[in-house]
Amino acid sequence: MNYRHVYHAGNFADVLKHAVLARLVTYMQGKDKAFRVLDTHAGVGFYDLSGVEAQKTGEWRDGIGRLLDGDLPAGVADILAPYLKVVHELNPQGGLTYYPGSPKLARMLFRPQDRLSAMELHPDDYETLHRLFDGDFQSRITHLDGWLSLGAHLPPKEKRGIVLVDPPFEIEGEYERLVDGLEKAVRRFPGGVYCLWYPLKKGAPIAQFHAALKATGIAKMLCAELSVKSDRETTGLTGSGLIVVNPPFTLKAELDVLLPFLKARLAQDRFASARSFWLAGENKAS
């Protein structure tokens, strides 16, 4: 309950997470039928990068700031277009003052038939999030432990959806909770698209986490990871990963274009790295 994302809004981890989320939303809109985005750990939804908290760390400067600093190759520009469209719409005067959290990003990409369910447990952050979406009939904001929503709020009545699970990793056992939560959710909503975020840092049990995910027997799981620096001299965040369950068939090829670019643009030292691969499903050995 101490984690406040405002200190990290727009950093390199947000860039990867939000670029992929925007692609998932866009893909779901390939069909006319409505869908729902369930955001289990939604935060406040909207960030002022000129505020005291964001300025204190300035992490956005090495994330979204670098992404906007310079031209983008054509293929990368196409992949990032939905994400950057929202960022530019929030900053109509140019520059970079405001940044969307995941619920705001998804909502700004919605069609009239699409819906948002956003969960937030922190009381102050819930109130801020609730005010942000007050009066918006396409959005439902709930004061709830997001882990509980993986049982109570699935399947969505639309029968189509994206489930974003982005916990703060404040306590021990969050990797295990991700696996357990995913298993529970997939039993209730097997056709959903799931996007699980996790941190990369020194000593993180990534191999065990991946093995536990494989052991679930879930048929299609795609992994994307981006590290911007070595973990040798820091115990802090050096990278992040995403597990996408039931990914769009186009996503692996898009990641193969996007990740090398993000590695080059966002690198903080020569040990930056990026990879995408199938944990389960298509071309597992790639």
Summarize pLDDT for 70-103 with one digit per residue, the tens. Answer: 899 999 999 999 999 999 999 999 889 999 999 9
d(CA 178, CA 255): 22
* Res 11 pLDDT > 80: yes
Catalytic-labelled residue, pool 14, 134, 166, 231: 166
Question: Rounded to 5, what percent of the chain is helix, strand, coil?
Answer: 40, 20, 40
Contact assessment for residue 117 and residue 153, using Cβ atoms and an 8 Å cutoff: yes
Q: What pLDDT shows up at residue 6?
A: 64
Q: Is 169 helix (H, G, I), strand (E, B) or coil?
A: coil
**pLDDT (average), residues 145-162:** 95
The answer, as to whether pTM is greater than 0.85, is yes
Residue 166 among the catalytic residues: yes
Q: What pLDDT shows up at residue 198?
A: 97
Contact assessment for residue 41 and residue 91, using Cβ atoms and an 8 Å cutoff: no
The dihedral over CA atoms of 33, 99, 175, 154, expressed in degrees to the nearest 10, equals -30
d(CA 233, CA 22): 33
